[in-house]
Amino acid sequence: MVSSARTTRLLVLLQITLFVVSIIVATCSRCSTSPRPSRRTTPPLRVTLVTTPGNASFAQSRLPHSVDLVSLPFPSLPPLPAGVESTDAVPSPSLHLTFLHATSLLRDPFAAFLASLPSRPLALVSDFFLGFTRRVAADAGVPRVVFNGMSCFASAICKSLSASPPPPTTVPGALFHVPGMPDHVQVAVEELPYGVAKRADPDNPVTRFFAEVIGDSDVRSWGVLVNSLAALDGDYVPALESFYGPGARAWLVGPMFLAAATAGELDGEQDPEGCLAWLDDQAAGSVIYLSFGTQAHVADAQLDEILHGLVQSGHPFLWAVRSDTWSPPPVDATHNGLVVRGWVPQRSVLAHAAMGGFVSHCGWNSVMESLAAGKPLLAWPMIAEQHLNARHLANVLGVGVRMDVREGMEGVVGRDEVEKKVRELMDADSKEGKRIREKAAWAQQEAKSAVSAGGSSTLALDNLLEELQKSYGDHVVANGAVCTLKD
């Protein structure tokens, strides 16, 4: 076994998206600084974050000094432009698959880096899309923990319906039960991610990518790291774990950013556009915040309708807009709204007393930030598993309302519908408004409790590290056979 005098290393390698960097950095912070009195005999943990040059400065600005940073050159793969090293920077949705193929070319540089280390790492935490890392880690006798940024709810549904395609239907919006999930989990075909819906088509490029690049790398991982908490996602853990090998577990350790903040590891967010000062002048609970993330494309015509709908609603609004081509149409000059093109300190904005609700694309990280702040959501999903997240939020947890949109839906949601849904979210005195606010307040309390001392996420992280420490120097499964990790 490992002597208590030596230091063990936890490697973190991930597909580079800014929100995933933030999540993993928060986890690194907690792993490297959180005291575990009952485990003083275990070696100290040294965390190394492996990234690429284009993302190093972002990560370094958020890393505690105890975390090492290593940069690997990002591979060149035309027509992906040089310097594009994160999905946030991909200039067109048509290049997302090219970007993913480019990340797979990191295999050899990563294998060389792993071989250069003086001793085997305790474990590797890597993104779901970096399937090559499981084989490289297995060849070195290192357990791989996979992270994909999704909830247990959405992950289990995607895995279930990839293995057993949904029944055919000609009725739009018809619900069906998802095999292996609790009885209350029913979804519509239109809510499935494109990659899941097309998984049965062998000629589809996304299907080929999953088959050729991801393969069984996910389900053969040692465990799964989940940015969620038991109160929201615990019912779906057995279903998710059933797709992995014997003994593999899903470790719910979120909200990760809240855990890092609790540990005092996060500095205040920058606010170059003065969003917080503007919010200071607004009445409590009066403002609606809008952000559709960094990866989905929203047509200028849709942005026009959103602005008109916001103005018609009469509610003050703060809106983060990413489009470089949109010019706001003329609207009532007396409206009280702030449109921001630059950086918005989202966590601080959501936590502000003036904030009454969040119109979100339902990316899971944004969902966690909203619920941690106790704010209800208007779910407006765009891509990937966001439609499943919308169902989870509105129809299962009851922490928000939904915009009636579907995967691949064409056309524009009109201003009157936008106004109607904004009013529905922001009417705090209605029966529905009170209900979703009570549920959001419950979720906030559960999130805070989960990352507190003795909370479910805190214990899960401690138990994860303890299990990894036990496996270090013991037997692990690699290459389909049992091997021994030696000092």
Residue type, 106: L
Share of the chain above pLDDT 90, in %: 61
Q: Is the peptide bond before 79 cis (omega within 30 degrees of 0)?
A: yes
On the question of pLDDT at 18 being above 50, the answer is: no
The residue among 401, 366, 204, 224 whose CA lies nearest residue 295 is 366
| pLDDT classification of 87: cutoffs 50, 70, 90 | confident
On the question of pLDDT at 101 being above 90, the answer is: yes
Burial status of residue 15 (CB atoms within 10 A of its CB: 0-12, 13-18, 19 or more): buried
User: Of the spans 27-41, 385-399, 404-418, which averages the highest pLDDT?
Assistant: 385-399
**Residue 13's pLDDT is what?**
64
**Residue 199's pLDDT is what?**
77
**Residue 191's pLDDT is what?**
94
Of residues 131 and 333, which shows the higher confidence score? 131
- Taking the domain 275-448, which CATH number applies? 3.40.50.2000
Of residues 6 and 362, which shows the higher confidence score? 362
**Residue 257's pLDDT is what?**
83
Whole-number Å distance between alpha carbons of 182 and 186 = 9
Mean pLDDT across the stretch 462-486? 57
Q: Supply 17's token pair.
A: 């998206």
Starting at the edge strand found earlier in the chain, the sheet holding 287-291 runs 337-340, 317-320, 287-291, 355-360, 377-379, 400-402
Mean pLDDT across the stretch 26-50? 59
Q: How many CA atoms lie within 13 A of 8 on its CB side?
A: 27
Fill in the DSSP letter of residue 227. Answer: S
Of residues 186 and 260, which shows the higher confidence score? 186
**C-beta of residue 113 within 8 angstroms of C-beta of residue 120:** no
User: Of the spans 58-62, 219-223, 334-338, 471-475, which averages the highest pLDDT?
Assistant: 219-223
Q: What is the pLDDT of residues 102-159, one digit of tens each?
A: 999 999 999 999 999 988 888 899 999 999 999 999 999 999 999 988 999 999 999 9
Q: What is the domain partition of the chain in residue ranges?
A: 8-254+452-484, 275-448
The residue among 479, 412, 344, 472 whose CA lies nearest residue 9 is 472
Q: What is the pLDDT of residues 199-255, one digit of tens each?
A: 778 888 888 888 888 999 999 999 999 999 999 999 999 999 999 999 999 999 999
**C-beta of residue 72 within 8 angstroms of C-beta of residue 132:** no
Fill in the DSSP letter of residue 419. Answer: H
Decide: pTM greater than 0.85. yes
DSSP-assigned letters across all residues of 253-322: ---HHHHHHHTT--PPPP-TT-HHHHHHTSPTT-EEEEE-TTTS---HHHHHHHHHHHHHHT--EEEE--
**C-beta of residue 381 within 8 angstroms of C-beta of residue 389:** yes
Share of the chain above pLDDT 70, in %: 85
**Residue 43's pLDDT is what?**
58
**C-beta of residue 346 within 8 angstroms of C-beta of residue 369:** yes
Q: Supply 423's token pair.
A: 């009013």
Q: What is the pLDDT of residues 429-452, one digit of tens each?
A: 999 999 999 999 999 999 999 999
In the block, tokens 């709204």 appear at: 337
The residue among 122, 150, 133 whose CA lies nearest residue 465 is 122
Cα–chain center distance at 336:
32
**C-beta of residue 10 within 8 angstroms of C-beta of residue 46:** yes
Alpha-carbon distances of 109 from 115, 259, 289, 407, rounded to whole Å: 10, 32, 42, 37
CB atoms under 10 Å from CB of 361, counted, come to 23
**Residue 2's pLDDT is what?**
35
| pLDDT classification of 24: cutoffs 50, 70, 90 | low
- Taking the domain 8-254+452-484, which CATH number applies? 3.40.50.2000
CB atoms under 10 Å from CB of 286, counted, come to 18
Mean pLDDT across the stretch 306-331? 94
Equal CATH topology for 8-254+452-484 and 275-448: yes
Angle at which helices 364-372 and 431-450 cross, to 10°: 100
